Amino acid sequence: MEFKEVREGKAKILVPKAERIYDAPVFYNPVMAFNRDLSVLALRVLEPKEALDALSATGVRGIRYALETPVREVWMNDINPEAFNLIVENIKLNFDGALEVKEKKAILEGDKRLISTNKDANLLMDEAFRYFDFVDLDPFGSPMPFLDASLRAVKRKGFLGITATDTGVLCGAYKNACLRKYNARPLRGELCHETGLRILIGAVARYIGKYDLGFRVLFAYYKDHYFRVFLKLEDGAKKGDETVEKLGYVYFDQKTGKFEVENAFLPSRKGAYGPLWLGELKDEKFVEALYNEAQKAELAKKRKVLECLERVRGELDVPLFYELSMVAKRNKLEVRKPDLIVEALEERGFLASRTHISPTGIKTNAGLSDVVDVLRSL
Ligand code: SAM
């Protein structure tokens, strides 16, 4: 394997040289630096003591956590032996001190405790019952094969960071795969990214309850063809009940673009999409804290991170949105600038905002007919 050295945040990382990232023996995707930046910010705000990067590849994520956040102990695990060897090299490249390597485990005891393992992530997480304050799942595709074990490896008041890159599944291009993996009926079309994100969170809500746990969403977003969710676990059967109570369905009329959400454990009529999470996608204080940290931090994609957080700060936290290009097309109207529509809706007394999910989407408590009226009036 030939390597090159890249810098990301405060880390120096050896990554395999390859024509295409998916051909490399160990995976490194520079586009995901944005995802890792936001995760670094999350750990700076949440200050976990022990963190697990369960699917680590080059170790870049865990190494950044150790270099850029107050975390005390970081575990970096990968089932691929070549990835394990590279994590060990990358730890040596970034930290002083003797690294003790014993078969499939390497430990560095320094200011921070760094541990690299070469195991199946589910096995590792089951051996570390309720050990971690923060568990990070950043898999190829769906996190579902690792979800249940992560819910046991994390402390009862801990945090989870979950990535899903199987957007085709969650957004309905592969309906059967969504039924199978997420036990949910996906919605195709203009709302698919938000419903995909909500199906992912909804699946966690349905898995977590059996442990008498619930959660609050700290921040959930869609970007660059992946979903990412930060959750704060809440302890107790009551919290589990409250979490399940935020599940529901959406009904969507492809012809008119009208959507309706139903907050219920089972749908009351045919044609429902879901189950999906109808609760919050952000905690305002947490997003504000991420934004403040982002201003101070040395990040790989600082400008993009700040832009995203600025949009999210101003985003109305209600389920779903109106895609203006589609509203205009269906009603044979001209598309207008989203900011103009937001302003006009606010002038009429509605709440309205842009959304990070689509550059031409509008979140509002107004109905479709109000949005059409506004578009017609401009
Ligand atoms: N988190 C990494 C980052 O930020 O660069 C990228 C991880 S990559 C998308 C997914 C990794 O999961 C691969 O390196 C793969 O070898 C590893 N993997 C797949 N199945 C696994 C399993 N059952 N247990 C542990 N690692 C696994």
Ligand 1 neighbour 162 (Cβ under 6 A): no
pLDDT, position 12: 98
Domain 3-286, what architecture?
3-Layer(aba) Sandwich (3.40)
Question: Where is 22: in which H helix or E strand?
Answer: none
Residue 361 in 3-state DSSP?
strand
- CATH 3.40.50.150 domain range(s) in the chain: 3-286
Ligand 1 neighbour 80 (Cβ under 6 A): yes
Residue appearing with tokens 């408590």: 365
Cβ pair 52, 128 in contact under 8 A: yes
pLDDT, position 19: 86
pLDDT, position 1: 77
For the CA of 80, the closest atom of ligand 1 is 16
Residue 320 in 3-state DSSP?
coil
Ligand 1 neighbour 141 (Cβ under 6 A): no
Residue 189 in 3-state DSSP?
coil
Ligand 1 neighbour 107 (Cβ under 6 A): no
For the CA of 32, the closest atom of ligand 1 is 4
Instruction: Name the residue at shortest CA distance from atom 12 of ligand 1.
Output: 55
Ligand 1 neighbour 33 (Cβ under 6 A): no
Ligand 1 neighbour 79 (Cβ under 6 A): yes
pTM of this prediction? 0.98
Quote ipTM for the complex: 0.99
Q: Which fold has domain 326-378?
A: Phenylalanyl-tRNA Synthetase; Chain B, domain 1 (3.30.56)
Ligand 1 neighbour 82 (Cβ under 6 A): no
45: left (phi over 0), alpha (psi -120 to 50) or beta: alpha
Cβ pair 42, 136 in contact under 8 A: no
Strands 50-53 and 73-77: parallel
pLDDT, position 154: 98
Strand partners, 217: 231
- CATH 3.30.56.70 domain range(s) in the chain: 326-378
Mean pLDDT by 10 residues, the chain (378 residues): 94 94 94 98 98 98 98 98 98 95 95 97 98 98 98 98 98 98 98 98 98 98 96 98 98 96 97 98 98 97 98 98 97 96 98 97 98 96
pLDDT, position 22: 86
Distance 79 CA to ligand 1 centre (A): 7
Ligand 1 neighbour 32 (Cβ under 6 A): yes
Distances (CA, A) of 177 to 144, 146, 192, 325: 12, 16, 15, 29
Instruction: Name the residue at shortest CA distance from atom 11 of ligand 1.
Output: 55
Strand partners, 170: none
